[in-house]
Amino acid sequence: MFKILGLMILGIIIGYGLRSISFLRKVEVSISYTVFLLLFVLGVTIGSNRLIVDNLFSFGWQAALLALSATVGSILASWLVLKLFFTSKKKKV
């Protein structure tokens, strides 16, 4: 896991340093298509796995609960950050 996070941070640093190169601005378009392709391949892999398909109902509600919890947690965390760091404490007269 640390390898993945380290590679991601390294990519961010390198991308920040190379952001003025015009060729790299064209890469942004292909990133969306790459993500779509990866999601498609993930779907094909899941669909071909008999164990997952047979237990889709039990996995499905757990996945929905996890996704809902993550969404609610992200909304609450972003609201808290907004209130703590971006809301002016000055009162208008």
Q: What is the pLDDT of residues 37-67, one digit of tens each?
A: 999 999 999 889 998 888 888 878 888 899 9
Does this model's pTM top 0.85? My answer is no
pLDDT band at 92 (very low <50, low <70, confident <90, very high): low
Nearest-angstrom CA–CA distance, 50 and 9: 36
Interval 9-44: pLDDT, tens: 999 999 888 888 877 777 777 888 999 999 999 999
Identity at 4, one-letter amino acid code: I
* For residue 91, pLDDT beyond 70: no
Displacement of CA 55 from its chain's centroid (Å) = 26
Angle formed at CA 37 by CA 36 and CA 42, multiple of 5 degrees: 100
Question: Which residue type occupies 66?
Answer: L
- Contact between 53 and 47 under an 8 Å Cβ cutoff? The reply is yes
Written as six digits, the tokens of 72 are 């609610």
